[in-house]
Structure 1
Amino acid sequence: MKTVFKVLLPIVGSAFLMASCDKDDDNDTTAPIIKSATIDGKVEDIEVTAGTAMTFVVEVSDNEDLGQLKLDVHDNFDGHTHKSTASVSWAEVKIVELSGTDKTVTQEMNVPAEATAGPYHADILLIDAEGNEGEFVERSIMIRNGSEPGINVTNPDLSGEVHATKGSTLTIEGTVSDDVDLAEIYIVLEEEHDDDHDHKSTQEEALYEMDFDLTGSADVSWDFQTDGNVNIAIPANAETGHYELTIRAEDAEGNINILSGEIHIM
């Protein structure tokens, strides 16, 4: 018997739609599959401007009959935010009804013009007609609204891979600026990982990690050397490999900007 979906649950990782319990003994227990998922044609480095639309293209399949696709967009701020009550942390959920065994879903989602700039997650979930839930896919998005802090690193050149020798010092030069009060500058150098460097480090140890809270009421410019003395000592016993330098800046209105670069320690 075809399942009738009734209730939408907000928690990722449990089946997000409840089914009627009237089932046959030979129910389908094979989970559906999200074969591919892009936003504006990308799977990473996705940036969207507030006040515009972004387009999901999701290819899905099931052995018997597809059910529903859920697109859940929400902020990925770290909870240590300084944002004002005037800022808007955007969240939206869309449900797409499906049938058949293979579909390519194209779904547009509008980003509000007043959305707070910063990192967001798009969780893509799929169930089939029997309520089996497939493995979800997550995409990271940077929303920009033109009011986020500007991060200008003049040294080193983070547009390409930066080489650093064990036992040396990596000096960061440049400025962070905004037209409103800056609230926080967070800098971390850690081993590369799959997450898209859109929140603070959860690793037990980073080669460098510093959180600068700006307590003034008119901190519109911050210098990496004059104000932060950001000179990163690379340990002589550091593991050889690729590391990620992440610079995260937040202003008093809650707008966040993130700049990252690849550091190759040799």
Structure 2
Amino acid sequence: MSYFSNKVVIVTGGSDGIGKALVESLLQQGARVATCARNFDKLYQLGKMHAGKSLFTSAMDVSNENECKLFIDDVIKTYGAIDILINNAGISMRAMFKDVAIDTMRKVMDINFWGTVYFSKYALPYITKQQGTIVAVSSIAGFRGLPGRAGYSASKFAMNGFMEALRTELLETGVHVMWVSPGFTASNIRNAALTKDGTPQGASPLEEGILMSAEDCATQILDAIQKKKRTLIFSSDDKRTVLLNKLIPSLTDKLVHKFFFKNGELVK
């Protein structure tokens, strides 16, 4: 029997990338899964691909508080409980702060941070009853601010702080709270990343083929949930970045700048 067998698991942003890989792995392990995304067609194809399995889908926007509440209500009507919430839905950005529109940064914050807050708020009573787990898919950008991604980094720093506070509040309730921080993972997130005016970037500045696969990332996340880890940082490079940023922040500034810029231009 899988650890996830018969557990009710919510995965936000389940139509692409890490979210889709999580949904598919959970279904294979016998979980009863609920997922949401903004793209109805992709959700329809996901449901069609897994016809006959316990999969509830809904096209919605996680930045809309009322839609988040209604989704949780629908999950309870469908499954009667919630064991695990994986706050995965997110959007990135790529633009220098001097150029970016405030509305673009606000949109990133609304999806990445407030989406996590809304889902966690309305799912919490049911997860507390099950002594379940709340997970946030964060980023190394939540430990170290990244150039060209000021709004994204801000949203992930906020997410990490929120999760840490929530974890401490729930310490004696039996609810487990954790956050995971994948590095660069092959997905659609960079294609959909917002430019300075809020339009999708449409292409990735990275070589996607050499990045960690979404499936490998999902496997590590589910293993961390089962082991009730506090946090998960994936690669040795990312762990080194977090450590260096704590111990020698001025050096880390230079190393990060060198990685993202070439001849004074943002290239990654």
TM-score (norm 1): 0.29
Greater percentage in strand: 1
Answer 1 or 2: higher relative contact order, Cα 8 Å, separation at least 6.
1
Greater percentage in helix: 2
